[in-house]
Amino acid sequence: MEIYYFTYTGTSKEIADHLGKKFKIKPREIKTYKLPYFIWLILSFIPYLPFKAKFEPPSSDTIILCFPKWTFNCPPVTYFLKKLKNKHFKTLVMIISYRGWGEKFYYWLYYKITSKIAQEIKIIFIKKKLWDSGFYKEIKI
């Protein structure tokens, strides 16, 4: 199993670290350029748009991927997933942190992007407020 994360304000890293401790795996970061918020906001309105990112390529058949909900798209994560288009994972778990709105469409978008690369797909949404409050003692995957 491998754990990947992309974060802008740190929540997805916290979630990845939490899972990393549980499964004794060091999470790997999906890194990209540091762009200002308003640029990311504009790009996040374009579904399926990838934005170049760097990451160590995965080698196992089970992936946990933590990332934020950004309007209709998180471009560095979309880039990561598009780069894996020839892979066939057994399980892909996406853990998406968000402020609390628009999750249905995002679920559908990322399900569509990943449906051909994994046999089993699981998408879990975590509200940032609840995460920050310590509500999630454990994330059941």
Ligand X SMILES: Cc1cc2nc3c(=O)[nH]c(=O)nc-3n(C[C@H](O)[C@H](O)[C@H](O)COP(=O)(O)O)c2cc1C
Contacts with ligand X, residue ranges (CB under 6 A): 7-12, 37, 40-41, 44, 68-71, 97-102, 128
For residue 122 the two structure tokens come to 């699981």
All residues at 6 or more sequence positions from 38 whose CB lies less than 8 Å from its CB, including other chains: none
Residues 73 and 102: beta-carbon distance below 8 Å: no
Phi–psi pair at 71, nearest 5 degrees? 40, -105
Q: How far is the CB of 112 from ligand X (least distance, A)?
A: 17
Q: How far is the CB of 31 from ligand X (least distance, A)?
A: 13
Comparison of 35 and 61: residue with beta carbon closer to ligand X: 35
Q: What's the DSSP call for residue 32?
A: -
Q: How far is the CB of 97 from ligand X (least distance, A)?
A: 4
Comparison of 108 and 120: residue with beta carbon closer to ligand X: 108
Q: How far is the CB of 12 from ligand X (least distance, A)?
A: 3
Q: CA-based angle 44:47:49, to the nearest 5? A: 80
Comparison of 119 and 130: residue with beta carbon closer to ligand X: 130
